[in-house]
Amino acid sequence: MRVRVEGDGASESLSGPWLVGCDGARSAVRRALELPFEGMTWDTRFVATNVVFDFEAHGYTRSVFLMDDVHGAVIVKIDDTPLWRVTYSEDLALPEETIAERIPDHFAALLPGGGPYELRRFAGYRLHQRCVPRMRVGRVLLAGDAAHATNPTGGFGLAGGLFDAFALIDVLAAVHAEGSPEQWLDEWAQERRRIFVEVASPAASRLKETVYDTGADAAHRVCDEVRAMIADPEALRRRLRFPAGLRSPTRSRTPAS
């Protein structure tokens, strides 16, 4: 198999027995395979901002879900920097070119006291829940956002993509280097797609609706449910184990006879 990679004014020809497309939600590999990206697009826009503001001085932890049907947001500290990522939503019908003009009004509600703050960067983007009908076509495999896309609330898209790769490492190595049957790759593709459709995408959708579409009364109910879960060790363990549900079982790497 031979492919040509182009970008930044340069191109390179590569060859190999397998191609793994991990080139994002606008995947050129997926488009070359003419695979549909089935699913839906939300009618809201997310606006991700990087801002310098001392949230910790106001009692915020490094990761906060702020539930509100108007000013819902995910507020996260960016590593060991002074920056915080504040992501809120707005109506998709609002002009994208005037996002900057609306940020002060959002920050007046989202930042305790309304500031002062330093806005370093912002970007608006659309939200999708989509997946290819299959993640393997012959000697081409798709993984991560090239295969499936979800709204980013909770990081399930990132985690799911990593687990795609973790599972594929062993399977592809077994098939290519150890003579295991190629059917293992079909099983990998089917299982990874199932986990996205049945686990990751629904979880991301529920969390998005909880954070960004929840009114005051419902928010109080959610908080009561969280307090009850924290008070129940077994319920808390089940919740903390949820990311393990994005993982595929380890495949035995016994060479085919």
Superfamily the domain 16-37+132-246 falls into: FAD/NAD(P)-binding domain (3.50.50.60)
Q: Which of 36, 42, 29 shows the shortest CA–CA distance to 201?
A: 42
The pLDDT, as a whole number, for residue 255 is 44
* Interacting residues of 158 by C-beta distance below 8 A, sequence separation 6+: 152
d(CA 60, CA 110): 12
d(CA 254, CA 257): 9
Whether 47 and 124 have beta carbons less than 8 Å apart is answered as yes
Superfamily the domain 41-129 falls into: D-Amino Acid Oxidase, subunit A, domain 2 (3.30.9.10)
Per-position pLDDT tens, the chain of length 257: 788 888 788 888 989 899 999 999 999 999 999 999 999 999 999 999 999 999 999 999 999 999 998 899 999 999 989 999 999 999 999 999 999 999 999 999 999 988 799 999 999 999 999 999 999 999 999 999 999 999 999 899 999 999 999 999 999 999 999 999 999 999 999 999 999 999 999 999 999 999 998 887 888 888 888 889 889 989 888 888 888 888 987 665 554 44
Task: Indicate the domain borders of the chain.
Answer: 16-37+132-246, 41-129
Confidence (pTM): 0.86
The pLDDT, as a whole number, for residue 250 is 65
Distances (CA, A) of 129 to 54, 86, 219: 34, 22, 24
DSSP state of 246: G
H or E stretch including 177? helix 156-178
* Interacting residues of 127 by C-beta distance below 8 A, sequence separation 6+: 41, 42, 44, 45, 46, 151, 152, 208
d(CA 148, CA 198): 12
